Amino acid sequence: MSFRHLWAVTRKEIQHIFRDRATFILVLITPTVVLLLMTYTLAVNIEHVPLAVLDYDQSPTSRAFIQRITAGEDLDLYSQVDSIAEIEDMLIQGQVKAAVIISPGFSRDLLSLQGIDLQVIIDGTEPESGGFAVEHIGWRAEAFANEILADQFQIQGIPLESLQPIDLRVQAWFNPGLKPIIDLVPGLISIVLGFPALTVALTLAREHEHSTMEQLLVSPIKRTDLLLGKIVPYILVGLLNVMLIPIFAILWFRVPFQGNFLVFIALSAIFLFAELSMGMVIGVFMKSQSAALAMSFLVVMFPGFFLTGIFFPITAMPEIARLESLFLPGTHYAIITRGVFLTGIGLETLWPNAVMLLIIGTAFILISALFFKKRLA
Amino acid sequence: MTESAFINITELTREFKNKTALEQITLSIQEGELFGLVGPDGAGKTTLLRILAGLLQITAGQVVAAGYDLNKEPEEIKPHIGYMAQEFSLYEKLSVVENLMFFADLYNVDVKEQEDRIQKLLSFAGLTEFKNRRAAHLSGGMQKKLALATTLLHEPPLLLLDEPTTGVDPISRREFWNILTDLHLNGTTIIVSTPYMDEADRCSRVGLMYQGELVICDSPVNIRNLLDGDLVKITTSDWQEAHTVLAPLAGVKEIQTYGEALHILVDSGKTRLPQLTRALKEHNLAVDEARTASPRMEEAFISLIRKMDQVN
Ligand SMILES: Nc1ncnc2c1ncn2[C@@H]1O[C@H](COP(=O)(O)OP(=O)(O)O)[C@@H](O)[C@H]1O
Ligand SMILES: [Mg+2]
């Protein structure tokens, strides 16, 4: 292993990334743009979700609340019902996608600052609109509570600044596969980071096409140094994405970030190593950029969509697909991003995924080195 | 074949899927030679140079270069050669200096000496004022000189240059050959391939390749002397007609066409030149130019290749 050789290749590749417009766009712009596009495509499709409301409280406050949550374009009041049985009927017949149950103590609990206990039932067969409903009911409830309480505080002469965040307990029933936008965005990150991997797959082919490969192969560089030297720069620019994307996710889509940012960056670096090594395996076998591109879509992008559990739960997959998903870096990274973003778990829970990513990455690098010959034809 | 030769190639054969690119080549090259590999496209020049560079596997035979057996140690020879590929193979997005630095790193050029050596090569190749220009924006001749400079960074004892002057203007070609001659005089062993026969004259020894075979291998003088007889150059109003008229005449051994001109190999220039021009005039062909000339390598090579084609 020669660090001089490794660095020479890395430096050259970074210069290429920043000087070649197509490469620059592919590795530094595309991931964020695709993330935005995909999130929007999935988000704008959901509007006017029909709701059933079961109001046990029957108070002016609860009626005002119902009015409030159904005031926008996002949620529509389909029907006010009197029993849970009715809700079930409507859910089964698809008349409503979600139902809100207001408990008898709603108004009392709210005004006594105990927090409101809302139950939300959603249609498990349509987790997208269900999750959307849960999220939006949550926002509305919070705004509503804040307003009511602000009035209350003013009457009692308590300064507004001392207002504490309201503890909202939104429960969702029979929805193990719940996927609101905030859950989707962290998962999508692992898909869009496939673009740097795709670029890695192209870099060897590019050298073949420009016959710079010949000059590389005739030099005394070791093949592992060459392959790693080509992966490292893409890990670095991949990490730029990893920093850019959460900013969008947090500021734009208001996805919470509960975990430790440094842990997230470190785990992302390991993921990128695994994902890019996978791209490198493709690069070793494909001699033209177009072939490498097609293969990357087949091997990196599509499985990233279908097999990593981002859209379709892994538990529902056939045995073989489940096994394959274990060897896809995206599967582990989806667990990592969701954990770090949404629940704030750290290395103590995620280390097996980190270890698995290291194993996958090393295995792919070894396979690449094994099949990469320092010879022509 | 001498034991002490710098490069010993013995019955080297290289096959591609359905093509024999090199067939039973046996050749030895001494240290310090400026050896020219000449031959038309597809002759096998690139394949031979790639094998010497450790880039291609040997199908059969043996190649020992600079003390390395290339069947067993293709990687080991790599630090000791400078190889210039036929196609431009440097990084277009990098500047002249960046390309040089990249290869200085790959060839482990001493860090303290690196700066100095790059400066020297830049002025040697006449690229100093273009050192910050992207390689993509250099002229063809400058690109070739840059490629040569990168192969010289680690001062290799063996240079393998694959058509370094193809697609280069005549002035740059001359400059390039002056550089090669300098290197040759400094003792570097150089093998250079070229499709231009006139360049072969500047080599100490020349190997003519044709269809994967080494047709002949000798000094330029000896190769030229293979043609016994004289050369007559004639330009007429209609070369095709002239060709038909002259071919059957006595003393005419061979006619080669060079554009509008005919190069005619005859047993004796002095006696045949007047006979030839007379024959042309009898057929009402205007003779623009008719003179004797000393045969060049080019005529010798073409004559050899023709004989080979007739045998096959
Ligand atoms: N990688 C390859 N695969 C198949 N055939 C090849 C390959 N490289 C060269 N050849 C064939 O071998 C012959 C010699 O080619 P080459 O060595 O490139 O000749 P030259 O350099 O003299 O033009 C040609 O017929 C060419 O088509
Ligand atoms: Mg060639």
Sort out which chain B residues have CB atoms less than 8 A from A4's CB and list them.
105, 108
Alpha helices, DSSP H only, in A297-346? Answer: 302-306, 319-326, 329-338
**Ligand 1 contact via B42 beta carbon (within 6 Å):** yes
- B61–chain A Cβ distance below 8 A for any pair: no
Across the interface, of B89, B106, B150, the residue whose CB is closest to A8 is B106
Q: Is B230-294 a CATH 3.40.50.1820 domain?
A: no
* Average pLDDT of chain A, as a whole number: 84
- A8–chain B Cβ distance below 8 A for any pair: yes
Looking at the predicted structure, is the pLDDT value of residue A92 above 80?
no
How many whole angstroms separate alpha carbon A110 and alpha carbon A61?
Answer: 9
The model's pLDDT over B103-113, given as tens digits with 9 standing for 90+, comes to 999 999 999 99
pLDDT of residue A44: 46
The larger pLDDT score, comparing residue A31 to residue A160, is at A31
- B68–chain A Cβ distance below 8 A for any pair: no
Name the closest-CA residue to atom 26, ligand 1.
B42
Name the closest-CA residue to atom 14, ligand 1.
B44
pLDDT of residue A165: 44
pLDDT of residue A109: 78
How many whole angstroms separate alpha carbon B116 and alpha carbon B126?
Answer: 15
pLDDT of residue A123: 72
CB within 8 Å of chain A, chain B residues 91-120: 91-94, 98, 101-103, 105-108
Average pLDDT over residues B113-123: 94
- A307–chain B Cβ distance below 8 A for any pair: no
How many whole angstroms separate alpha carbon B257 and alpha carbon B234?
Answer: 10
Contact A235, A266 (CB under 8 A): no
* Average pLDDT of chain B, as a whole number: 91
Across the interface, of B75, B98, B105, the residue whose CB is closest to A374 is B75
pLDDT of residue B59: 96
Sort out which chain B residues have CB atoms less than 8 A from A213's CB and list them.
89
The model's pLDDT over A129-156, given as tens digits with 9 standing for 90+, comes to 777 787 788 778 877 877 877 777 777 7
CB neighbours (10 Å) of residue B159?
22
Domain boundaries, chain A: 3-43+179-371, 49-162
Looking at the predicted structure, is the pLDDT value of residue A212 above 70?
yes
Average pLDDT over residues B182-207: 92
pLDDT of residue A274: 95
Are the Cβ atoms of B88 and A375 closer than 8 angstroms? no
Across the interface, of A4, A216, A376, the residue whose CB is closest to B56 is A376
Q: State how far Cα B253 lies from the chain centre.
A: 27
How many whole angstroms separate alpha carbon B264 and alpha carbon B254?
Answer: 6
- A217–chain B Cβ distance below 8 A for any pair: yes
Average pLDDT over residues A351-359: 96
Q: Which residues of A142-174 are buried (b: 16+ CB within 10 A; e: fewer)?
A: eebbeebbeeebeeeeeeeeeeeebeeebebee
Expressed in angstroms and rounded, the spacing between residue B38 Cα and the centre of ligand 1 is 15
Looking at the predicted structure, is the pLDDT value of residue B41 above 50?
yes
Domain boundaries, chain B: 7-224, 230-294
Looking at the predicted structure, is the pLDDT value of residue A174 above 50?
no
The model's pLDDT over A106-135, given as tens digits with 9 standing for 90+, comes to 888 777 766 666 788 877 666 667 777 877
Looking at the predicted structure, is the pLDDT value of residue A46 above 80?
no
At B200, give phi and psi (nearest 5°).
-60, -25
Least confident range of B119-128, B185-194, B226-235: B226-235
pLDDT of residue B124: 86
Looking at the predicted structure, is the pLDDT value of residue B252 above 60?
yes
Least confident range of A79-83, A157-161, A334-338, B114-118: A157-161
Average pLDDT over residues B69-75: 95
Residues 6+ apart with CB under 8 A from A98: A49, A51, A52, A120, A121, A122, A123, A129, A130, A133, A134, A137
Class of domain A49-162: alpha beta
Looking at the predicted structure, is the pLDDT value of residue B146 above 70?
yes
Average pLDDT over residues B302-312: 81
How many whole angstroms separate alpha carbon B29 and alpha carbon B10?
Answer: 12
Name the closest-CA residue to atom 8, ligand 1.
B47
pLDDT of residue A176: 37
The C-alpha of A216 sits at a distance from chain B's nearest C-alpha, in angstroms, of 9
> What pTM does this model have?
0.78
The DSSP symbol for B247 reads T
Are the Cβ atoms of B94 and A7 closer than 8 angstroms? no
The C-alpha of A316 sits at a distance from chain B's nearest C-alpha, in angstroms, of 48
Closest listed residue to residue A349, CA positions, set A335, A331, A360: A335
Bridge partners, residue B15, by sequence: B20
pLDDT of residue A39: 78
**Ligand 1 contact via B303 beta carbon (within 6 Å):** no
- B80–chain A Cβ distance below 8 A for any pair: no
Looking at the predicted structure, is the pLDDT value of residue B272 above 80?
yes
Show the CA angle centred on residue B189, arms to residues B185 and B192, nearest 5°.
100
Are the Cβ atoms of A220 and B78 closer than 8 angstroms? yes
Average pLDDT over residues A182-211: 87
Class of domain B7-224: alpha beta
Which of B14, B16, B50 to mutate to test ligand 1, by most ligand atoms within 8 A of the CB atom? B16
Least confident range of A68-77, B23-32, B69-78, B178-187: A68-77
Looking at the predicted structure, is the pLDDT value of residue B229 above 90?
no
pLDDT of residue A114: 66
Expressed in angstroms and rounded, the spacing between residue B246 Cα and the centre of ligand 2 is 36
pLDDT of residue A182: 65
**Looking at this predicted complex, what is its ipTM?**
0.86
- Report how many Cβ contacts below 8 Å link chain A to chain B: 76
How many whole angstroms separate alpha carbon B29 and alpha carbon B191?
Answer: 9
